Amino acid sequence: MSFVPQLNALPAGIAALADYEDPARALTDPATWAYLNAGAGDEITARANRAAWDRLGLLPRVLQPLAGASTAVELLGRKLPCPVLLAPVAYQQLAHPDGELASAHAAAAQGAGFVLSTQSSVALEAVAQAVRLESGRGPLWFQLYPQPDAGVTRDLVRRAELAGYEAIVLTVDAPVQGARDAQRRTGFRLPPAVRAANLQPYPAAPLDGSAGLLERVALAPTWSDVEALVDATRLPVILKGLLHPEDAREAVRVGAAAVIVSNHGGRNLDTTPATARMLPRVAQAVAGDIPVLVDGGIRRGTDVLKALALGARAVLVGRPLVWALAAAGALGVAHALRLLRDELESAMALSGCVNLQRVCGGLLLAD
């Protein structure tokens, strides 16, 4: 686990999100770094996510009237100043002692949406309480990993409702963990000081780490569980972690409020296609019935613009904000979010795009 000597200063020479990677790595022990950063297996999907955004070119229109340009978008009844949310990332105290409190404050300061993981190292109530009164904060969503005991899952949803979370993000691409080879190679173990704070009130899950894969999958949620969840909560239910257009149609059918095209940042099933490849197909299948969001490999304002041109309403960012958190705490995360927004504004102006509610698909040129 890392204890960061310089918590309140930005490292020198940061011009873009990727610049946070090296300082973060330098401050983090190799096993923790493997947890925070590695992809599953051979990391083919993790690399493909990034490469797919790079392969898309932006084809600018010149001499467009740019007056009134805005990065604002509407999402589930909320106006976001910028279409960026912090992806749910477990155990953020591994990166910085302030963990999720730091990143939630940074998100609030920048008006970005924040998604808190079930496996947060700070309890969901404490995070909500910390940012509740911050004016201009973005939406606060709770990411749900269904628990082996259905009663615990119901209780987590009830607690999120009571604490003021505005949506439940049900992660559907992780019924079991993928091949975390880098973690095994480095011998990563969660240190005793970092815990899944939301799960502390409940008895230990009946299936411990020694349970076999087939015992675990027997408890994995199915579409009927999603339908039951949609019925059981007054909050919108967003499905995170689908790639197949037919799964997106099914999500609409069971009443999901939005879908997030994601492969878990390449951390679970290696060799799945890049999210940028599947996003347009999912957007076409959903046909505007519900908003489509995307994550995986988004590092630049140009990536955000490309995602919106491919049909996304907003994007989520994972690792770069963990790097910024590890390198410079809340200040680093707020800075990284601001950098991304500045880049997006510049990309919009330089490509002749004034309005993110209607990004022209003709802006993109694939190889």
Ligand X SMILES: Cc1cc2nc3c(=O)[nH]c(=O)nc-3n(C[C@H](O)[C@H](O)[C@H](O)COP(=O)(O)O)c2cc1C
Residue (260 or 290) nearer to ligand X, CB: 260
Query: Residue type for 284, please?
Result: Q
Residues in 82-101 at the binding interface with ligand X, rule: CB under 6 A? 87-90
Residue (83 or 318) nearer to ligand X, CB: 318
Among 96, 105, 137, 240, binds ligand X (CB under 6 A): 240
Strand partners, 256: none
Confirm or reject binding of residue 23 to ligand X (CB under 6 A). no
Residue (281 or 300) nearer to ligand X, CB: 300
CA angle at residue 64 from 62 to 67, to 5 degrees?
135
Distance between CA atoms of 239 and 363, rounded to whole angstroms?
Answer: 28
Residue (131 or 298) nearer to ligand X, CB: 298
Distance between CA atoms of 262 and 316, rounded to whole angstroms?
Answer: 9
Query: Which residues are the active-site residues?
Result: 264
Confirm or reject binding of residue 19 to ligand X (CB under 6 A). no
Confirm or reject binding of residue 298 to ligand X (CB under 6 A). yes
Distance between CA atoms of 170 and 158, rounded to whole angstroms?
Answer: 14
Asked if 99 and 329 touch (Cβ cutoff 8 Å), the reply is no
Segment interacting with ligand X, rule: CB under 6 A, options 59-67, 132-140, 196-204, 260-268: 260-268
Q: How far is the CB of 171 from ligand X (least distance, A)?
A: 4
Distance between CA atoms of 220 and 222, rounded to whole angstroms?
Answer: 7
Among 23, 297, 311, 329, binds ligand X (CB under 6 A): 297
DSSP state of 355: B
Confirm or reject binding of residue 333 to ligand X (CB under 6 A). no
Strand partners, 295: 316
Q: Which residues are within 8 A (CB) of 219 and not within 5 positions of it... i.e. 6 or more apart?
A: 148, 207
Count Cα atoms within 13 angstroms, Cβ side, for 334: 16
Residue (286 or 294) nearer to ligand X, CB: 294
Confirm or reject binding of residue 182 to ligand X (CB under 6 A). no
Residues in 261-280 at the binding interface with ligand X, rule: CB under 6 A? 262, 264-265, 267
Residue (43 or 355) nearer to ligand X, CB: 43
Among 296, 301, 311, 332, binds ligand X (CB under 6 A): 296
Token pair listed for 41: 């297996």
Distance between CA atoms of 119 and 197, rounded to whole angstroms?
Answer: 7
Strand partners, 138: none
Among 306, 313, 319, 335, binds ligand X (CB under 6 A): 319
Residues in 162-181 at the binding interface with ligand X, rule: CB under 6 A? 171
Confirm or reject binding of residue 117 to ligand X (CB under 6 A). yes
Phi-psi label, residue 164: left if phi above 0, alpha if psi -120 to 50, beta otherwise: left
Residues that bind ligand X (CB under 6 A): 36, 49, 87-90, 117, 119, 143, 171, 240, 262, 264-265, 267, 295-298, 317-319, 322
